[in-house]
A and B are shown apart, each in its own frame.
Chain A
Amino acid sequence: MKRRLISALLIVAVAMALISGCAGDGTTTPQQSSKEPQKTTDPSQSETTPTTIIDMEEDPYTVAIQVVVLPGTNYEGREDREAAINAITLPAINTKVQIQEVWISEVRNTTSMAVAGDEKIDLIHVATVQRLSSMVGADLLYDMNQDDLLATRGQEVLEVFSEELLEAGFAAGQQLAIPAKPYNANAKGIYYNKTFADQHNITVPEKMKFEDLTEIFRQVKAADPEIMPYYSGSGELNYLYWLKAFEGYGNEQAYGIILDPQAEPTVVNFYETDMYKDYILTMHRWKKEGLQPGDPTDSNPGQAYFAAGQLFAVVSDINSTIMAQRQADYKDFELGWVTLVEPVVTNATTTEYMWGIASNSQRPDKAMDFLNFMYENGEVANILSYGLKDVDYTFVDGSNSVIARTGSYAPTFFVGGDPEKMLILSPNGEDYVAKLKEMEANATLSPLLGYTFDDSAFQTESSVINSTILEYIPRLNNGMADSEEATLALLAEFNQKLKLSGIDDVIAANQEQINQYLKNQG
């Protein structure tokens, strides 16, 4: 009995020794552990004199940057692109680069696993499916105001981005990200197969309202019953975002929306608005009429059906950059564009693409150096955006700034660099930047541009709300209920469940933070 006890104690002791040996979670870098918590400041209030101190004598640090691409893509020549960037950055900022190409479908998991596991990661794609609004409470991002990093090493960033734009990355008292695009005005609407429309004499105005689409889609259906006029996909994304004007918070508007930020900044439950009710009733009618398939089990991207000529229209942001990229994507037919929402600069358009520094970055200072340099030196951004000259692109005849893709490299979700210093992708021409500036100047500026909701106190509610949204919106957005009455009943059930999930508390907190933000703005 004694021996058994001794051997059991020995086993426990050995196990404890092993466990404690492996106990380091590795998420705390030596640099971080030696730091006292720093006071953080709003960039606009920072008074530190900008001074760049880059040690050119130390061993070069390699900055790992996420380049987000479409699922299934694996571009060749990554090492060549890295070598080309290193040739520029080593003599300039004593930094090398490691390009981490990540599929958009995996970027969220990849990021959190990399940070949690203390894997090599420095610059994070805070965009698309991992938006700043859902990362505030997750502690994944380094505060760029810590050690006055942004002020001392981000002069070019401060130069390129206005205070209002930088403020969009300021949340929970920290500068967690910076915008990726200096020009953030976006119109919203649809692009469509203009070649098809012209062939069948379907006239599509350049500007219209969402309600007018029904008639256009009926004409498409009559011209070719095999083609889908509209496609809701899996229904997990609220396409209404591209069809109507409003300012939304959280994934799929989980934290509420403001219908008209210019008039009255009141946060309401998106799913209780008449706008959403009308949309889902329209989707139901469109399904009945065969204007959309209404099958949430079909998770193929709409772009795939569009490229195959099986879909007439796709929702989209509209600006010069996107118009050129899309036309380059679909070479078999001409694209037409319909503006449904006039150009706006909002928190949503600004935070759509941002850059953050990983909280486990071994050298946040070097990550900031690289980020800053990307906006200072157009060539680095060109290589990351377009690849290498004569391999991935060539200059179009008669121009030394407009290029056409010749290779397959097209990192769809990479946005970085200052367009004024970068090459221009055709069919955009030399007037590209002027067009961007014009759109920005004419766009409506949201008074809540710099506001981001801090959801860190609502992690439980957020989890349950998001789960509830994913349960109901695929059916509602696809018009799957049997009748209009059944659609409304399902919507009522959905809203009842959202209330039980605590959406009203979250919206009230959002409203409180907005009021405080507006008060601080004066």
Chain B
Amino acid sequence: MNLKLRQKKKKRNWKHFVPYYIMALPGFTYLLINNYIPLYGLQLAFKQFSFKLGISGSQWIAFKNFRFLFASNDATIMIRNTLLYNLFWIFLNVLIGLSVAILFNEIVNKRAKKFYQTTILLPHLMSMVVIAYLVYAYLAPSTGFINNTILAGLGLEKVNWYADAKYWPFILTFVHQWRGVGFGMLLYLSSILGIDSSYYEAATIDGATKWQQIRKITLPLVKPTIIMLVILGIGQIFRSDFGLFYQVPMNQGALYGTTQTIDTYVYRALMVNNNYGMSAAASFLQSVVGFVFIVTANAIVSKVDRKSSLF
């Protein structure tokens, strides 16, 4: 009897979830088509791809396609740039995104809130090519706003921004944050808005200052979101925003010292050769390194605080 009841309940539960499964179907189909079926192409990384013979017919060549990534003495520079920018930006994304979200949460006026939200999110919706030309409008050597108006106004020498690599870690960081802070902030804000307001009411009654409320209530409750975003960020540590590193510096060779990343190197090296095998090898390596980093980061988090780990 008991068993029958349980079976009946299970049946009801399964039926209960059918609409949700149907709702998930488009997303699942998207993932399958976009993320899983292309896994078949991973073998390209180990093949001498021939357009005539196709993927399955091409010759296996083991790790030969990976050679070009390390054949240049730029390998150290591009790997260094990719890793350091990502590490620094993961930290900055948390710091700035969370700070802005906390400040945003304090805005009471609804209209002001909507206005700021739109303004701060707008750059995220802009194409990187448009952003590149916006930056160019400021930094162009002879016609740019900074050289022509600001530096000229102050009686200072013009700076050839596109000829000196030392400025670009700052420029790229600024552009990255300006473009991404709105979206990052939204994720943290949604998490903050989910915190029960009675915690804050109780803390206010007990005489806690704003800073104390942030430290003792907001940060601990937002911690899972921070950890999740950091782990996801670490998974992308071997990748870079191609548009940011290629378009914004206008593909200037003089800037490669600080703007060359794995993605831009692969693009530059292969745009002349049409070599799909080498492109696949670079992408494969990025995925493997990303996977290793994610698993490692998750394992560390899991050791410190099991509840906060992703899996």
What is the predominant secondary structure among interface residues of chain A facing chain B?
helix
C-alpha spacing A169/B57, complex, angstroms? 26
C-alpha spacing A74/B232, complex, angstroms? 43
Q: Which A residues form the contact surface with B (CB < 8 A)?
A: 15, 18-19, 22-23, 25-28, 32, 108, 112, 115-116, 134-135, 137-140, 251, 293, 295-297, 299, 359-360, 459-464, 466-468, 470-475, 480, 497, 500-502
C-alpha spacing A138/B272, complex, angstroms? 10
Q: Which residues of B contact A480 (CB under 8 A)?
A: 163, 254
B146 at the interface (CB under 8 A from A): no
Chain B contact patch, size range: 35 or more
C-alpha spacing A297/B36, complex, angstroms? 40
C-alpha spacing A3/B89, complex, angstroms? 43
Do residues A25 and B56 form an inter-chain contact, with CB atoms below 8 A? yes
Do residues A471 and B270 form an inter-chain contact, with CB atoms below 8 A? no
Q: Which residues of A contact B274 (CB under 8 A)?
A: 108, 112, 134-135, 138, 140
15 A-B residue pairings within 8 Å (CB atoms): A19-B36, A26-B54, A27-B52, A27-B53, A138-B51, A139-B53, A297-B136, A297-B162, A359-B51, A460-B71, A463-B278, A464-B269, A473-B253, A480-B163, A500-B72
Q: Which residues of A contact B252 (CB under 8 A)?
A: 296-297, 474
Do residues A25 and B273 form an inter-chain contact, with CB atoms below 8 A? no
A137-B253 CB under 8 A given contacts A26-B54, A467-B268: no
Do residues A116 and B51 form an inter-chain contact, with CB atoms below 8 A? yes
The smallest C-beta distance from A345 to any residue of chain B, in angstroms, reads 26
B168 at the interface (CB under 8 A from A): no
C-alpha spacing A251/B270, complex, angstroms? 13
A466-B269 CB under 8 A given contacts A140-B274, A501-B72: yes
The smallest C-beta distance from B227 to any residue of chain A, in angstroms, reads 26
CB < 8 Å neighbour of B71 from A23, A28, A112, A464: A464
The smallest C-beta distance from A364 to any residue of chain B, in angstroms, reads 11
C-alpha spacing A116/B163, complex, angstroms? 38
Do residues A295 and B253 form an inter-chain contact, with CB atoms below 8 A? no
- Closest partner residue, chain B, to A26 (CB atom): B54
- Closest partner residue, chain B, to A470 (CB atom): B268
Do residues A22 and B73 form an inter-chain contact, with CB atoms below 8 A? no
A134-B52 CB under 8 A given contacts A467-B72, A468-B72, A471-B256: no
The smallest C-beta distance from A100 to any residue of chain B, in angstroms, reads 17
Do residues B269 and A463 form an inter-chain contact, with CB atoms below 8 A? yes
A15-B36 CB under 8 A given contacts A297-B141, A459-B278: yes
Q: Which residues of B contact A296 (CB under 8 A)?
A: 162, 250, 252-253
Do residues B269 and A116 form an inter-chain contact, with CB atoms below 8 A? no
B130 at the interface (CB under 8 A from A): no
The smallest C-beta distance from A174 to any residue of chain B, in angstroms, reads 11
